[in-house]
Amino acid sequence: MPTLYHAPQSRSTVIVALVHELGDPADLDIVRVTIPRQDGSGAPDPQNPHPEKKVPVLVDGDGMIRERGAIIVWLTERYPSDLAPLPGQPGRGAFLSWLFWYQGVFEPVAILDFLDISHPALTASFRDVSTAVAQVQAALQDRPYLLGDRYSAADLLVAGAFAFFRQMIPDSGPIAAWVDRCQDRDSIRRAAADDGEGDG
């Protein structure tokens, strides 16, 4: 039975939303764990199997999957739906590219920008926020979602980051409406409501 380890109001909330999008598979268990919070509350949870006690982490049989992009790939393959193209299907390359780009480039760049940290070596490797935002803007120029006409788990992950780092949303262009579209879903509202019930 797959078990998702989740701490409310954290990066694992987006994976809970994905679980809702996938129809709340009956065999998938969600276990709440604590994590250290920036306000000094919370603590690493002994029952969390993540090697650094972070969330999210998914345990499925003998697999331990960390990093949201990898968890999204794992869950969307395990529970096929129209949220993700499977291997061999059109859009698979773009789907994987958005997830890996998010983990490897977008989130580091967003955090560095938020902290006002810059260095020529970082810029040479990751570019910068404007370049990252321009990639999303270009993708959405003639389509409602990153993969085309269909909402996917790549939108869930990438738009969720814009909803968190709202200052990155350009005043003009398609991103603001796309973020609103992606946030205006039952899965997002349910995951947020779940997180409100009890502490983590």
Ligand X SMILES: N[C@@H](CCC(=O)N[C@@H](CS)C(=O)NCC(=O)O)C(=O)O
Footprint of ligand X (CB under 6 A)? 10-11, 35-36, 53-56, 67-68
When the beta carbons of 36 and 91 are compared against ligand X, the nearer one is: 36
Smallest gap from Cβ 51 to ligand X, in A, equals: 11
How far, in Å, CA of 155 to CA of 161, rounded? 10
Q: Rounded to 5 degrees, what are φ and ψ at 30?
A: -115, 125
Smallest gap from Cβ 90 to ligand X, in A, equals: 27
Q: DSSP states of 82-105 as a string? A: TTSPPTTSTTHHHHHHHHHHIIII
**To which residue do tokens 């989740």 refer?**
6
When the beta carbons of 21 and 174 are compared against ligand X, the nearer one is: 21
Closest-by-Cβ residue to ligand X is 54
Which residues fall within 8 angstroms of residue 17, CB to CB, at 6 or more apart? 156, 160, 185, 187, 188, 190, 191
When the beta carbons of 48 and 152 are compared against ligand X, the nearer one is: 48
Specify the DSSP element, H or E, that contains 153.
Answer: helix 153-164
When the beta carbons of 54 and 174 are compared against ligand X, the nearer one is: 54
